[in-house]
Structure 1
Amino acid sequence: MYFYLIIALQAFCIYHVIKHRNPYYWIFLIFFIPLLGSVIYILTQVYNKRDADKITSGITNIINPTKKIRDLEKKLEFSETYQNRVNLADAYLEIGDNEKALKHYKDALEGNFQNDFYVIKNMIEAFTKIEDYKSVVTHAEHIKSHPEFVKSRTQFLYGLALEKEGKLEEAEENLKAIDVRFSFYNERLVYAQFLLNINKKVEAQSILESLISEGQYMTKPNKKIYGATIADAKKLLESL
């Protein structure tokens, strides 16, 4: 149990580093000196009296995600508000229960929030995971004029869904939007494969070369996260 508590503490601290864009050297401290590094990080970067409950809750949710679900269900039962229902849907999406997540997102949208970008964006994630591409396209059509849609993962998922629906020109147009240097590494690898599938070898080769080049300038933490993606890009380029 002690070992799992340390792992949970590390996970919480690393998540906090990334979320709040704190210096990446904290990740090394937390990773290589698990208990002491995590405690130092919390005391210097996170902790104050108001945050104490949040820290405890965050660690508990990592160890036992079903507790978070139960707590949010009780909260919704006590007060059936839009935000409480969305929070519960988010929690279901987080643990991969996409059907229940979609049910609560749909219930939330029945009120006066039919065009809530955040909710529809998360619904598109869930629809993608259950391979309901027609619903991805339908819901994306409702929010594609939103400024946050452009050059986003949601637009990328929309493009993939359009490909599945046989709308290749529209798919390419939307997938191309995420071809932004030093970002969307995984998505751009998928885009390169898409281009190969539609016989656009030169364009695909250009994206793969960019990914490999950018990989040389990544920070060590990013290399850990995206190293496999860059390696796959190299393999795919060598196979052309």
Structure 2
Amino acid sequence: MPFLFGGHFILAVLCAVHVIRTRQEMYWLLLLFMFPLLGSVVYFLAVMAPDVFGARGVQAASRALDPGRELREARKELAMRRTAGVLKRVAEAHMALGQYEDALALYEEAARSAFADDSGLLQGKASAEFECGRYEAAQETLSELRKAHGAARLPHAHLTYARTLFALGREDEAFAEFEAVSAYFPGAEAKARWAEALDQAGRHDEARAIWREIVETARIIPAHSRKLQSRWINMARSRV
């Protein structure tokens, strides 16, 4: 029993280090040390797993089985309590279904709450603004995110920032950001988006080199990772 308790505590400490280094909300520390094992499991699933596997990939299987289920359940919860967290959940469900205008309206409502500087909320709002073609608004939201969370490592927000710069015609800055985020982004999406942008800019040789890199990497990663990244791998295969 002491050994197991020690293991739980060490796991909680490792998660706590991640909380501090990535500047997550401080309530995670309370959860981790009040409930070492349960808190660590919850933290991994809620925060670390999306960074390791890619949030979209982790959720893809359940969406494929019943694409509208999460939205239905989220709407039921929203009917009972209209909090920032629930608004964000419904907005995410709309985003997953490509209903970006609906998602943006909910993110904007949530952003008027006391949780306006929540990192997940700001990331979601910026993504919705980008998908709606509101690039200046997306850039402004990402600036708010940076002010609120400083040097926190937020790969999906970083990728949205690179895509926003490119959409605004700031190509040199965009390509520098694409290169930077591709160095640590979980999965192939960042490199695929980078290669797409290079193709659109007429820099086909550079794009082709990145497409090839994605294909070569796909040959050596585990099968489950290839499945999670199939969209980007298939895109790369079609371009080489």
TM range (shorter): 0.5 to 0.7
Aligned match for 1:135, one of 131, 134, 137: 137
| Residues 183 and 202 of structure 1: CA distance in aligned 2, closer, same or farther (over 3 Å) | farther
Deviation at 1:211, TM superposition (A): 1.6
Aligned match for 1:116, one of 105, 118, 128: 118
The percentage of counterpart residues that share the same residue type is 17
Q: State how many pairs are aligned.
A: 182
Higher relative contact order (CA 8 A, sep 6+): 2
The answer to whether structure 1 residue 186 and structure 2 residue 223 are counterparts is: no
Counterpart residue number, 1:8? none
Scaled by the length of structure 2, what TM-score is found? 0.60
Asked whether the equivalents of residues 136 and 161 of structure 1 are also in contact (C-alpha less than 8 Å), the reply is yes
Counterpart residue number, 1:172? 175
Q: Which amino acid aligns with 1:175?
A: F
Deviation at 1:73, TM superposition (A): 2.8
| Residues 181 and 110 of structure 1: CA distance in aligned 2, closer, same or farther (over 3 Å) | closer
**What's the Cα RMSD here?**
3.6
Which protein has the larger Cα radius of gyration, Structure 1 or Structure 2?
Answer: 1
Q: Which amino acid aligns with 2:173?
A: E
Aligned match for 2:79, one of 74, 82, 85: 74
Counterpart residue number, 1:55? none
Deviation at 1:92, TM superposition (A): 3.4
Deviation at 1:105, TM superposition (A): 1.9
Deviation at 1:91, TM superposition (A): 3.5
Asked whether the equivalents of residues 188 and 207 of structure 1 are also in contact (C-alpha less than 8 Å), the reply is yes
| Residues 166 and 64 of structure 1: CA distance in aligned 2, closer, same or farther (over 3 Å) | closer
Counterpart residue number, 1:218? 221
**Partner Cα separation in structure 1 for residue 219 and residue 178 of structure 2:** 24
Deviation at 1:190, TM superposition (A): 2.2
Counterpart residue number, 2:91? 89
Deviation at 1:203, TM superposition (A): 4.2
Asked whether the equivalents of residues 156 and 178 of structure 1 are also in contact (C-alpha less than 8 Å), the reply is yes
Q: Give the alignment of 1:1-240 within 5 angstroms.
A: 62=66, 65=69, 67-76=72-81, 80-144=82-146, 146=149, 150=153, 152-180=155-183, 183-198=186-201, 200=203, 203-227=206-230, 229-237=232-240
